[in-house]
Structure 1
Amino acid sequence: MESVRIKTNTPRSYYADEDQTAEMFSLVDATISELEHALSAGWITSVDLVARYLRRISMYDAAGLNLSAIPILNPAVFDEAAASDARRAAGLPARPLEGIPYLVKDSIKVKGMTVASGSPAFENLVATEDAACVQVLREAGAVLLGRTNMPAMAYGGMQRGSYGRAESPYNQEYLTAAYASGSSNGSATATTANFCAFSLGSETVSSGRSPASNNSIIAYTPSKGLLPLRGVWPLYPTCDVLVPHTRTMSDLFRVLDVLAVVDKTPVGDFWNEQKIVPLPSVETIRPRLFDELKEGSALRGKRIGVPSMYIGGKDPLPDKVCTRPSVLKLWERTKDALEACGATVVEVDFPMVTTYEAKASLGELVSVKDLPEGWHSVERCQLVAHSWDDFLAANGQPGLDSLACVDPETIFPLAPGSLRGAPDAANQLRWHEMVEYPKNKPDSIFEIPNIEQAIKALENARKETFEQWMDSQGLDVVVFPANGDIGCANADVDLEASLYAWKNGVKYSNGNREIRHLGIPTVSVPMGVMEDTNMPINLTFAGKAYEDTKLLRYAYAFEEFTHYRQVPPRVPKLDSDVVRTTGNQQSSSVQAQVELPGVTITEQSKFIKDSIVYVEVKGNLQCSHDAQLKQLVCYINGELIDPRLDGNGWSLTATYPVSARDSTWSRWTSPALVQTIVVIVAHTNTGQTAGKLLSGSLSHRRSKMDVQDSHTLLYLLAYIRNESYHILNHCQNLFVQVLFLQLFQRKEWHPANGSRNR
């Protein structure tokens, strides 16, 4: 079988325009507003936008650098993009995030996809409904690309979960998140690497802030109850928050316009379900549009406190904060910038931290006045077990609708060869007790003994040790470097690296457990890149609960003045990231006047012979009398392949040496690393994009000489809807059909498929 490569009459990339005089913009670090403008102007379609992001994912995440940020792609991604493009073509008003591709953490429910939360125990758990956050994003027109990597149950940071972990796109020698708390590592890595427009993570200790800092992106951790948590796997319900990850504050505002809404059925959303302490409604906190917070002078005249312990100054606690000199150097530049914005910066103590951690050296990790005796232990067992059991019951999957169904050894196993590290003994979850808990649990989580006293104590601790202290110091906001240093990438297997990764200032984001436990809102903004490690670090803005809009104003003003974000150097711009901005406008009124084309897949196969992989896809093209095929462009794993045309038929044949990518998926690694992504783009000369394709039957052939695993499937994941394929609108007066084909090895089931019933 002949291997066909690029011919001289085929452009280097379908996406890159050969006219060097044409006006263009790049998808790399494009803002949501820029993407929306490109979609509205007809320069690009959502389908095309998805295809371009998929090429970056193919080149850098699932191959090449193997960043492993996105282990599972959404099988319906092109259906969602098609629906968005169809709305535009029909002349319907664009919704707030119309056609914008995004990602979600693996702990967030998407109907029909697995929601393993990175845990072997839940690899087969399929979401029966969307999480509240996914629901509102779907209604706003956003297009889900897939799911991001995380450690099992978000219980940690850079421990390898079922699908491995994400790696740094800045420096492969360092972690992309804090080792002890950075579970949204895939979300932040994917966002900074421009694999999506934005992503959703979550945080219980520093799981949203930490990876944001290590990846030079924005993270917002809201006050309790402001962003909906229904359908997100809980960890510690008293601490959990949803965390949007974006590359700019402006992007964050666009996302918050959609996310910051009241969930009328907040089942499993602890703070929105509880009636023990009154909380403000998000409707009374948020502005009508978050763009109203764009005030470049917001820091003028403000008094800013920076805790001495985080900038190498006085630290009264025995466990001193470890701060790298290059972090301190960035802080000095940042202080100058804040003062240039018109603020006064003063060094302060930090009683919220020193009070909370006063007895930590004695093994008492939480020191909060009036907190019930033993409450920390309850939060690490009964509270978690109750919330997990409720989550499973609400999902209602037979055989996996209770925590009692689960083998405790499979919830958080360490990957082979991994060190346990140096976690606090009192901070450990008790897996065996937890799976027994449902047998005698009360009807409601709010019936757990002493929960009312505990919630009131935590609320009072924030008010007394933080908010009243801010008033006494005359502070408008508190800022500090997001972390003192970053652990090495081998912290999971090397003892010396592990010990350093567990140091104070390195293991968590600064502020440690108390920021989330007491409910302090923060915004994390890029502060620069350390000169000795080439790793980014952020500045944290922290303020009073439910004064989130003030923090957002301050963070925007700082970002607007500094622009300290740097694009990760390991994932440079591709030719397909370039979008031409002239001569592409489409008239939706024309689209209804032309018979729409179709592409039929007639055969697909992949097999291995003599250490060579053979991939073949065949199909037919049907065009109206007004339309002619202009070009068929195909990519395999991001590399351009030349197809063969024969009248209305076409075939794609490619060969390449067998590699680890063609092996069977094994736990602790991303399933994407053993997938082959094929993108086929058909152009006609009329610019109309709709049509029907029948799903081709699976074909797998094995040579007698083949000793490889023969359980290979070819999945057509793009444009699939009820066994048919739909061609979507493309902007450049061309018909476009993008068929996203996933070929992967499997035995009984492969987690990359996203669900067991697909």
Structure 2
Amino acid sequence: MIRHKSPYNRKRNVAALAAAVALGTTFARGADEAVSFELENATMEDVQKAMDAGALTSVELSLLYLNRIEAYDKTGLTLNTVPAINPRLIAEAAHADRLRANGVKLGPLQGIPFTAKGSFNFAGLPNTDGITVWSDLFPSESCFVIQKLQDAGAVFLGHANLDAFQASTAQANSQVWGLARNPYNPEFRTGGSSGGSGAATGGNLSFFSLGGETGGSVRSPSDRGGIVGIKTSNALISVRGLAPLAWDRDVVGPMARHAKDTAHIMDAATVEDSQDIWASVNVVPGRAKPTGYANKAATTTLAGKRFGVPLNMLGTSTGTVADEIRALFAKARVDMETAGATIVEVTVPPELDISFTGRRASVPASVVIAPTRKLYSPANVDTTGNMVGTSRGYPFKTFLEAILATPEDTVDSLHDKVVARISPVTQLPQSSRDAIAAKTTVGPTSPDAVEHFEAVRYQVLDYEAFLAANNLDALIMPTAPVKTATGITLPPISRALVNSFSNPFVTVPMGNVNIPLGETTSSEPSTLGFLGRFWGDDEVLALAAAYEAITKHRVNSPLVPPLAGENFDYTIEEILPPSKPPVIETPVKAVLKGKGKKARLVFEGTVTHEAELRAVRVSIGGKRAPVSGEDKWKSVVPVSDLLKRINPRTRTVSMTVIARDTNGNTAAVIRKVRIPKLDRFLITKKN
């Protein structure tokens, strides 16, 4: 049989959703294998091993994350990183568990909860994009990349906080949800605009997350969260169903605590989408998209690799923080050389900056007039506000059309809806809103867009010629040469090479630095950055994984420690016979007994089961409650303990009941329970 320290030994369970599910798991992996599980350090492989052994289920794992969100995000530190929970979370988790129980294995993401930036469409939650005027913008269909991860078995936990209109690389301050806080110090910013994604992953409030980047919005929060984030090459992961910013640079960026996990996400996310805005764009003709991320991440070493340190991308900042980051980078160089890599210092030439106005070396002589970046004015800048309005407005139009369209719409009625929704978005320049209203937007097949990406092609080829001339596999640098409690500085020229030149960039922890806060300092992660080549995402991520494997510098935040039930041991002794999972019956209404200080609320229910019950656990209002009995269980709670947890408007309290049997089957019910009127019971009659 499978014996383990029960994962129900938790400080609290969060009853955030109204759902009831039952599931079964009856697996074993081999005889007498003792395993320790620690959620904050677990990889996807560790989770799958525990789930296959019947020591953990997706429902349990999802509840563990709801616990952490309740303890650290909603209360306690109030980090505010995951403000919107998927109302179908437990049902999705139960489905993943049922598939496993029936012998269906979908891969390393099966049953694992994840979040996505609040600009990603998810059916059932509004896509606010961090602005109040879209707080009621509900898509009927989830974005393509979330669907692909769900197809691979992942479970959507909810939306991560973001900066309003994805504007800042320093913070995630939503008009709708407020400011996200850093799990290493709540007084620090998270980086942005995908700050909720980075902080939730770094603080283990989500197993992994999806961010989005246009000019630094994956790199910055990945650095501050001390995680492995990848700003992907353009056109690699579909952006259909994402609120745009500047579409020629908008990309999806997976973020996880371990490089090999990020690789698994990439394997699931890099699926062709014929309806993606990038589908008709061919930046480098004849180049194949990479595959096999996880395999490369598991097998690549640093031995024989050659890396360039771009001296003019290291920054010139002085001071304690910059000095500490430089010291960590120097140590990283030594670690890589010890592992067999060669490190050389190089200088990035001026023609690899976006400001270069001459003819690029890679433009063939047969091309008389070199193409220019026609989507920007002037062409040698890459700031979002300089994108030509007719082009920048196009993806906003198509994004809103997909959400707002109904079968009854005509072309004109849908256009009117789109104009009504985009007009109050003052963060988008008037020129783009006017182009939408005037029906003059142009998409990726327009002559200007085609020429723009021809110019990008030669940017890419010039950069790759520079790497080849120096025989380099990648460039390495600190992701952020300097940062403060509220700000972060990315390397010079990196916006051009990473975003406008469409190249991938991976962050991986290289240690912690001390950042001043008033008269004190606080420790926060710093990451090493690997800059690769266009559509070489598999290679550069594998190099980052190889560095991580020999250093293991990630440090968990002591401010968000494990809660009860997140760490446990289990032992596999024999294969168990299949059996049906328990079935839980819960009350619709609590019964009140006693008066005054002796007033108690009584919650009663039943559990029917085939195998012997191991445990029944009850949480009420997010807090563990005492329970007696199993087949017929009862939980009695003083009214005074519940007053602050009862919803006064609906007069309900959330309740979670979990039952697990000795065969590893789990059943879970999350329900709102009605509470009787309490006033007359809380006042003792006068004699």
TM-score range, shorter chain: 0.7 to 0.9
The code of the aligned residue for 1:572 comes to P
Paired with 1:124 and 1:605, the residues of 2 have a C-alpha distance of 37
The match for 2:478 among 463, 477, 481 is 481
Q: Which residue does 2:215 correspond to in 1?
A: 205
Q: Which amino acid aligns with 1:86?
A: R
Paired AA for residue 45 in structure 1:
T
Measured in 1, the distance between the counterparts of 2:7 and 2:670 equals 30
Check conservation: 1:43, 1:585, Cα contact below 8 A: no
Residue 590 (structure 1) aligned with residue 578 (structure 2): yes
Please say if residues 42 and 586 of structure 1, whose CA atoms lie closer than 8 Å, have aligned partners that are also in contact: no
1:575 maps to: 564
State the one-letter code of the partner of 2:73: D
Matched AA of 1:578: N
Deviation string for 1:547-583 (max 9, x for gaps)? 2232123212211111111111211122221123126
User: What percentage of residue pairs aligned between the two structures are identical?
Assistant: 25
Is 2:320 aligned against 1:307?
no
* Superposition deviation, residue 210 in structure 1: 0.8
Residue 136 of structure 1 corresponds to 148
Q: 2:114 aligns with which of 102, 108, 114?
A: 102
- Could you tell me how far apart the structure 2 residues matched to 1:106 and 1:584 are? 44
Deviation at 1:12, TM superposition (A): 12
The TM-score normalised by the length of structure 2 is 0.80
Which residue of 2 is the match for residue 729 of structure 1? none
- Of 160, 171, 176, the residue aligned with 2:173 is 160
Question: How far off its partner does 1:439 sit?
Answer: 2.0
Equivalent residue letter for 2:79: L
> Per the alignment, do residues 44 and 629 of structure 1 end up closer, same or farther by CA in structure 2, a change over 3 Å counting?
closer
Asked if 1 retains the 8 angstrom alpha-carbon contact of 2:194 and 2:221, the reply is: yes
Post-superposition shift, 1:309?
2.9
1:516 to 499, 519, 527: 499
CA 1:44–1:440 in structure 2 vs 1: closer, same or farther (change >3 Å)? same
In the other structure, the counterpart of 1:747 is none
User: 1:530 aligns to what?
Assistant: 513
Which residue of 2 is the match for residue 492 of structure 1?
none
Answer yes or no: is 1:53 the counterpart of 2:61.
no
Is the 2:659–2:666 Cα contact (8 Å) retained in structure 1? no
The counterpart of 1:556, out of the listed 510, 522, 545, is 545
* AA aligned opposite 1:47: V
Are 2:27 and 1:14 equivalent residues in the alignment? no
Partner residue in 2 for 1:713: none
Partner of 2:193: 183
Could you say if the C-alpha distance between residues 621 and 676 of structure 1 is closer, same or farther in structure 2, counting changes exceeding 3 Å?
A: closer
Report if the CA contact (8 A) 2:119-2:127 is conserved. yes
Cα distance, 1:584–1:191 mapped onto 2, change above 3 Å:
farther
Which stretch has the larger CA shift, 533-542 or 207-216?
Answer: 533-542
> How big is the shift at 1:661?
11
Counterpart in the other structure of 1:371 = 373
Q: Distance in 2 between matches of 1:119 and 1:579?
A: 42
How far off is 1:147 after superposition? 1.1
Unpaired stretches in structure 2, ≥5 consecutive residues: 1-5, 12-32, 358-369, 407-412, 516-521, 683-687
Secondary structure of the residue that 1:339 maps to in structure 2? helix
Aligned: 1:286 with 2:283: no
User: Could you say if the C-alpha distance between residues 357 and 658 of structure 1 is closer, same or farther in structure 2, counting changes exceeding 3 Å?
Assistant: farther
1:29 aligns with 2:36: no
Q: How many Å apart are 1:223 and its aligned residue?
A: 1.7
**Equivalent-residue separation in structure 2 for 1:440 and 1:321 (angstroms):** 52
Is 1:81 aligned with 2:93?
A: yes
Distance in 2, matches of 1:701 and 1:348, equals 74
CA distances 1:270-319 after superposition (whole Å, capped 9, x unpaired): 3223367636343xx213x622343353x323332112234456x9xxxx
Match of 1:355 in 2: 353
Q: What is the DSSP-based 3-state SS (H/G/I as helix, E as strand, rest coil) of the residue aligned with 1:234?
A: coil
Amino acid corresponding to residue 325 of structure 1 in structure 2:
D
Shift of 1:538: 0.9
- The superposition leaves residues 199-224 of structure 1 with CA deviations (integer Å, 9 ceiling, x where unpaired) of 11111111011111111100112222
Equivalent AA in structure 1 for residue 280 of structure 2 = E
Which residue type is aligned with residue 291 of structure 2? R
1:350 partner letter = V
1:209-220 equivalence runs, <5 A: 209-220=219-230
- The root-mean-square deviation of aligned C-alpha atoms, in Å, is 3.9
**Quick check: 511-520 or 648-657, which moved more?**
648-657
Indicate the residue corresponding to 1:4 in structure 2: none
- Deviations for 1:344-388, whole angstroms, at most 9, x for unmatched residues? 2222222368732479xxxxxxxx983345456662633332211
The structure-2 alpha-carbon separation of the partners of 1:615 and 1:227, relative to structure 1 and needing over 3 Å to count, comes to: farther
Q: Tell me how far apart the structure 1 counterparts of residues 672 and 268 of structure 2 sit (CA, whole Å).
A: 38
Cα shift readout 1:483-523 (whole Å, capped 9, x = no counterpart): 1222324xxxxxxxxxxx3xxx6268871354212101111
C-alpha separation between the residues in 2 aligned to 1:590 and 1:580? 22
Tell me if structure 1 keeps the 8 A contact 2:353–2:496: no
- The offset of 1:620, in angstroms, is 2.5
Give unmatched runs, 5+ long, in structure 1.
Answer: 1-10, 360-367, 413-428, 490-500, 665-674, 707-758
Are residue 395 (structure 1) and residue 419 (structure 2) matched? Answer: no
SS of the equivalent of 1:75 reads coil
Query: SS state of the match for residue 227, structure 1?
Result: coil
Native 8 Å contact 2:48 2:108 kept in 1: no
2:608 to 618, 623, 645: 623
Distance 1:623 1:385, change over 3 A: same
| Partner amino acid, structure 2, of 1:290 | A
- Deviation of residue 87 (structure 1)? 1.6
Partner of 2:268: 258
**1:406-485 aligned within 5 A:** 406=421, 408-409=423-424, 412=427, 429-430=428-429, 432-442=430-440, 444-446=442-444, 450-464=448-462, 466-485=463-482
Q: Number of residue pairs matched?
A: 616
Note the C-alpha offset of 1:128.
Answer: 1.3
Whether the aligned pair in 2 keeps the contact of 1:43 and 1:584 (CA below 8 Å) is: no
For 1:273, the equivalent position in structure 2 comes to: 280
For 1:668, the equivalent position in structure 2 comes to none
Who is 1:603 aligned against? 589
| Matching residue within 80, 92, 97 for 1:68 | 80
- Amino acid of the residue matched to residue 400 of structure 2? L
Q: Answer yes or no: is the 8 Å Cα contact 2:246–2:392 preserved in 1.
A: yes
